[in-house]
Amino acid sequence: MTQSRSQRPIKKSLRLIFRYEGETIQLSGIKRVKTIAPPSDDLSPGERASGFWYEVRDSSDQPLYRRIADMPNRYAVEVRSDDPASPLTWETINKPQGLFVVLVPDLGTAQDLVLFSSPIRPLDITPGVETMQARQELEPAQEVARFSLSGIEPERR
């Protein structure tokens, strides 16, 4: 069975590079690339959805593409310990910082890229409790950043 033209994967994508420090997220670069973006997840996350995802939205603020991803900026990481009885433990990151990259289809009707996340504030770490980050990620997600895609130069032919 052949796919209709509208169902075929879009072979051009936008690679967006983000820089974060704590809860502040900045878009540091956009590049058009000739590759197929990962498929979209379900466009309606449901009420009280938690975790991290990003959406491409149109001018009516309707989602065109949605991708669930790992939370990029964390206040704790699981690390090896010297205790043989508990080889892994949580360690707090006081000032998380770094980069993350997302790949989205280059859609002509795209207006914004919107990031959603459960709260990323630091939580108390109780010795012996391995679920600190999991408790944090279960809280309902909310919009944490929005970046315009409308000002991107059209591709030259």
- The per-residue pLDDT for 54 is 97
Give the CATH number of the domain where residue 117 resides. Answer: 2.60.40
Answer for the pair 33, 39: CB distance below 8 angstroms, yes or no. no
- The per-residue pLDDT for 121 is 62
pLDDT at 153 over 70: no
Answer for the pair 67, 102: CB distance below 8 angstroms, yes or no. yes
Average pLDDT over residues 38-65: 91
DSSP string, 15-43: EEEEEEETTEEEEEEEEEESSPPPPP--S
Its domain, for residue 29, covers 5-148
- What is the number of domains present in the chain? 1
Domain presence at residue 68:
yes
What's the count of helices (H) and strands (E) in the chain, helices before strands? 1, 9
pTM of the shown model: 0.78
Domain presence at residue 130:
yes
Domain presence at residue 22:
yes
Domain presence at residue 101:
yes
- The per-residue pLDDT for 26 is 96
5 falls in which pLDDT band (50, 70, 90)?
Answer: very low
Answer for the pair 134, 14: CB distance below 8 angstroms, yes or no. no
39 falls in which pLDDT band (50, 70, 90)?
Answer: very high
Average pLDDT over residues 85-105: 89
Domain presence at residue 155:
no
- The per-residue pLDDT for 78 is 84
The 10s digit of each residue's pLDDT in 118-137 is 886 655 555 545 444 555 55
pLDDT at 33 over 50: yes
